[in-house]
A and B are shown apart, each in its own frame.
Chain A
Amino acid sequence: MAEEELLRVEGLSKTISGTSILSDVDMVVRKGDLKVLIGPSGGGKSTLLQCINLLLFPDSGRIVLDGREVTFRRKREVLAYRQQIGMIFQEFNLFDHLNALQNVSIALRKVRRMSSRQAAERAERELERVGIWEQKGLYPAELSGGQKQRLSIARALAMDPAILLLDEPTSALDPELIGEVLAVIRDLSQRGMTMLMATHQMGFARTLAQEIMFMEQGRIVEQGAPQELLSHSGAEQSRTLSFCSKINELYA
């Protein structure tokens, strides 16, 4: 492919209290890609995303962002690095004591040190982008699940991240609210946002992802274009496909 490489992960391993959660994960995300991570729960998807954002520190391995190797020895560097990586959580993790606008503007003010006015203006633009500008004065508890997740996307986007990590962004949502969040993600992807997303939404992955990675027991077992992994051709059924058909049975 012609696009430039944005994020490279090499030999990433993580052990938590004696259990190996990630072992020797390699992966590349190119600029503008939407890359989807699928696989059973407990397979290491969430840990991988948190390691990439340094919310968890990997035991070994390299992370290269935009051609520069990430060092995480100094606190300052970690904080600066995290600002370049947007993170969307399954359970939103919105700041419950702040209204929608403040949720987006607080990091701009306190981390980026923008003036209150600038931060508010920027926050309003982001809220508009995800379609909840009218709810800017409401508190998290007053928003629907879909609005909450869109708000958390706006919060991450406001920091101008180079890449967005999404950890099962629709898993905590009622089925009828999933669509509005996926629409925002699709829109972002079409505008060229680089994203790495763990999800169980197979239809979404099939139609929009440039590449699918199947993770199991802390390893990337298979990866490739959706057409390759999810087609029934070929002698052997792929692990991804058998997993997907199981999921589809469950949700059918």
Chain B
Amino acid sequence: MDPSFIWSELVPALNKGLIVSLLLIVPSACIGLLLGILVGFSRTFGPPWLSRAASAYATIFRGTPLLVQLFMLYFGLPGIGIYLTPYVAAVAGFSLCSGAYHSEYIRGALLSIKSGQIRAAESLGFSRVKTMVHIILPQAMRRALPGVGNELIYLIKYSSLAYIITCIELTGEGKILAAQTFRYTEVFLIVGCYYLLLVSLASVGLRKLEDMLRVPGFGKG
């Protein structure tokens, strides 16, 4: 280990990469979650054609490797005339993939909510949309939170795949520097530490969120 290399070369490069990583993770997480909610609701409450289409989407994106999806978006789409920059392809791939997983957790949560909740809301004059927004969604998100949180943590780790389609983020910066200096062990241990930190921070944050949203006796049956 060479401290001067680490502090004067590695860390500045990795910090630059970290920003790109965050620019990949945050939008993908938001779009993915939104997509997951829409798809989850469509699968559960949508008319048959929509529900089937949404399920097919989720099955396809959960059944194939994310890396293949990224290759499809980045290398495959130009074949039918659609050109995406590495960054856009990465965000699109991450959002589509995590949306599919989110929809699974959200669907499970929606199915676990008893029909009496809907009837009670309707008996008070809630419209269909208001019932979903004020009664069903808050309950479903609490139930889905552990799975959804896990998926966000996966997203942090899988954001490293952006490097393979030439979007140079944290892992990419590390790879470039390692290849120049042949200090693979040092570089990737430190890169690993960056991810460990991100993942640990996210876990702590999610646990805090779960505690904050905890409702006595809710989610046990």
- Chain A residues proximal to chain B, CB less than 8 Å: 50, 53, 55, 75, 79-80, 82-83, 85-87, 89, 91-98, 106-107, 110-111, 138-142, 152, 155-156, 159
B126 at the binding interface (Cβ < 8 Å): yes
Instruction: Tell me, in angstroms, the Cα distance from A141 to B127 when the chains sit together.
Output: 26
Stretch at the interface among B44-52, B116-124, B168-176: B116-124
CB atoms of B142 and A82 under 8 A apart = no
Distance from A76 Cβ to chain B, minimum over Cβ atoms (Å): 9
B208 at the binding interface (Cβ < 8 Å): no
23 intermolecular pairs with C-beta atoms under 8 Å apart: A50-B119, A75-B127, A79-B126, A82-B124, A85-B123, A93-B117, A93-B119, A94-B120, A96-B117, A96-B215, A96-B217, A97-B142, A98-B215, A106-B134, A107-B124, A107-B126, A110-B126, A110-B134, A111-B125, A111-B126, A141-B215, A141-B217, A159-B125
B-side interface size class: 20 to 34
What chain B residues lie within 8 Å of A110 (beta carbons)? Answer: 126, 130, 134
What chain A residues lie within 8 Å of B142 (beta carbons)? Answer: 97
Distance from A181 Cβ to chain B, minimum over Cβ atoms (Å): 17
Once A82-B125, A110-B130, A111-B125 are accepted as A-B contacts, the answer to whether A89 and B120 lie under 8 Å apart by CB is yes
Instruction: Tell me, in angstroms, the Cα distance from A85 to B123 when the chains sit together.
Output: 8
- Chain B residues proximal to chain A, CB less than 8 Å: 114, 116-117, 119-127, 130, 134-135, 138-139, 142, 215-218, 220
Output the residue of A55, A79, A97, A107 with the most chain B CB within 10 A: A97
Once A106-B134, A141-B218 are accepted as A-B contacts, the answer to whether A87 and B123 lie under 8 Å apart by CB is yes
Once A89-B119, A93-B117, A95-B120 are accepted as A-B contacts, the answer to whether A141 and B216 lie under 8 Å apart by CB is yes
What chain B residues lie within 8 Å of A91 (beta carbons)? Answer: 116
Instruction: Tell me, in angstroms, the Cα distance from A80 to B138 when the chains sit together.
Output: 24
Instruction: Tell me, in angstroms, the Cα distance from A141 to B215 when the chains sit together.
Output: 9
CB atoms of B217 and A139 under 8 A apart = yes
CB atoms of A139 and B122 under 8 A apart = no
What chain A residues lie within 8 Å of B116 (beta carbons)? Answer: 89, 91-93
Instruction: Tell me, in angstroms, the Cα distance from A110 to B218 when the chains sit together.
Output: 22
In the complex formed, the residue of B with least CB distance to A91 is: B116
In the complex formed, the residue of A with least CB distance to B125 is: A83
In the complex formed, the residue of B with least CB distance to A140 is: B217
What chain A residues lie within 8 Å of B217 (beta carbons)? Answer: 96, 139-142
In the complex formed, the residue of A with least CB distance to B124 is: A107
CB atoms of A82 and B123 under 8 A apart = yes
Instruction: Tell me, in angstroms, the Cα distance from A159 to B126 when the chains sit together.
Output: 12
What chain B residues lie within 8 Å of A85 (beta carbons)? Answer: 123
What chain A residues lie within 8 Å of B220 (beta carbons)? Answer: 141
Instruction: Tell me, in angstroms, the Cα distance from A30 to B123 when the chains sit together.
Output: 21
What chain A residues lie within 8 Å of B215 (beta carbons)? Answer: 96-98, 139, 141
